[in-house]
A and B are shown apart, each in its own frame.
Chain A
């Protein structure tokens, strides 16, 4: 080919060769596999055209037909991985996926070739540096999302164990202790439990639908206000209940003045960091603690109610996220189309400098465009995310059936958002795009780096809804009321489920429900360990002592 021959002129450098093999215009890229001796291209489209026109048979990367297929598959899987890492970005899921695909194909075809051109490297068949980088990034993301989940679960278990400590006090043992002790008894009839669980899940569904509706039609201010209110509820009231329980169990003499002062501080700073600007770490910490508080409050339910509720939630999650008419799916899609940020409670791993007052996003700047990274778009309120939670809790609190003062709204919001494992910035689900942009903005601003960082930001962190945190913790906290063996077994089960879900996320590249797999594993492990492992261990222990 003329272009190829003209390109082979190493003495004169790249410029001699820079004629596109397909269209003849100025070219900046070359075929990665062929290296310096290969054809030059000006764009990906020309490369694809040229591939079809005959480069496929001469390319150095294609010794045989099957290999080219593998190469394609590898490229596709890379695209898949990249886009899947952003599986659910609330705003620009589609864009992210597209961007990723474009990016991945572009990088695989051009940028890597561009980078490799001077070195004339052949892509190593074993591990491509780009691919290895991607793996590393992905693993890091997984690690970063598992850390807060583990922390939330551990905190919930801690609250449960503290509240179950023998009480030396007269007076105020709040609903927590009574709930904890009550939950171990199976005396409540199953039908009552089913009824309660059904009511709870009904409330959750209603809240989800309402929030989706509000979001879809743009009543963002109401949503934000709602969320704010909802965040305040667990931070204030729940902490009070928890601390009263702990004080009762541990016999700490404390006066109301100090307690109210401490609670006021805790809640106010929580509100500020979640809904307004603040350190990312603090915001993540507050969201984790809030989730554990909500989970703790749910342990007030009787045990059968909790298990039935979890089972129904898993089913609901599946429906809401995967079915075309599911509200959560609608939420994702509408945020994609409208480019609006979803004020959801999402925990994002890469949250950046937070958002100020919710500038709701009708201006979701697609992160994909990355050129227009705008710092102010970040303002997507992380508070949104948290607020969503808070909002949900609130609604539920109002409607709790008698006997349970569990804020359902919290559950609701959590459910709503937790269904989605998203990749994206924490601050806003909606802001996924913005968060991505945010992220990118932040990262770019911080690193002043090139496409690498941007790409990373885009591939950015997984996002996990806060509801997922809560319900994982609810499951483990419920297991914690029985025995340590069940606790550990359920922790392992839930984390395994989370890993499996993230893995599926990589394969399917779209928003996936985070609850079903973990809940199924968790329930299975709990019942097996409760009815088989614990008596077994106890019998063995007796044996040891006796002998």
Chain B
């Protein structure tokens, strides 16, 4: 799935950079896509080491977001009942009987 080898390296680098920047808007999924898409290109010399920097940043950011999300979700699911009113207001749908 990597980009075509004929695309000029500057373009690839700029795309990687743009993916990273757009991903800063709360878009960890874009960072994941960035990493998966561009990972094989890390070995290409003509692109340079900058792409490595962006990819590492992306993957680090994605992992960070993953930790945040799972933490929040586990807190929410386990404490949903105790929180009462507040939890009901932010739930999408309230299971019956609970």
Contact = CB atoms under 8 A, between A and B. Distances in A.
Contacts of A248: 93
A33 to B, nearest CB: 39
Contact of B91 (A253, A278, A375): A253
Interface in A236-260: 243-244, 247-248, 251-259
A132 to B, nearest CB: 28
Given A244-B93, A258-B69, A268-B30, A278 B4 contact: no
Interface in A439-464: 441-442, 444-446
Contacts of A279: 1, 33, 36-37
7 closest A-B pairs by beta carbon, nearest first, are A445-B6, A265-B29, A169-B93, A255-B90, A353-B4, A279-B1, A251-B95
Interface stretch (A35-43, A69-77, A269-277, A326-334): A269-277
A280 interface: yes
A256 B90 contact: yes
Contacts of B22: 268, 272
Given A171-B94, A253-B80, A258 B4 contact: no
B90 A353 contact: no
Contact of A261 (B7, B26, B30, B96): B26
Contact of B96 (A170, A272, A444): A170
A370 B26 CA distance: 42
Interface residues of A, number: 40
A254 B27 contact: no
A168 B27 contact: no
14 contacts: A169-B94, A169-B95, A171-B93, A171-B94, A247-B92, A255-B87, A261-B69, A265-B29, A265-B30, A268-B25, A268-B27, A278-B33, A279-B36, A282-B37
A446 B3 CA distance: 9
Interface string B22-46: 1001111110010011000000000
A255 B92 contact: yes
Contacts of B69: 258, 261
A257 B5 contact: no
A95 B27 CA distance: 42
Nearest to B89: A256
A278 B30 CA distance: 10
Interface of B: 1, 3-7, 15, 19, 22, 25-30, 33, 36-37, 69, 72-73, 76-77, 80, 87, 90-97
Interface of A: 168-172, 243-244, 247-248, 251-259, 261, 264-266, 268-269, 272-273, 277-282, 352-353, 375, 441-442, 444-446
Contacts of A446: 4-6
Most chain A CB within a 10 A radius of its CB, from B5, B19, B29, B93 = B93
A520 to B, nearest CB: 38
A165 to B, nearest CB: 13
Contacts of A170: 93-94, 96
A353 B37 CA distance: 11
A273 B29 contact: no
Contact of A273 (B33, B90, B91, B93): B33
Nearest to B19: A272
B92 A244 contact: yes
Nearest to B3: A353
Contacts of A273: 33
A244 B91 CA distance: 11
A400 to B, nearest CB: 24
Contact of A375 (B4, B37, B90): B4
B92 A445 contact: no
Contact of A168 (B3, B30, B77, B95): B95
B19 to A, nearest CB: 8
A441 B8 CA distance: 13
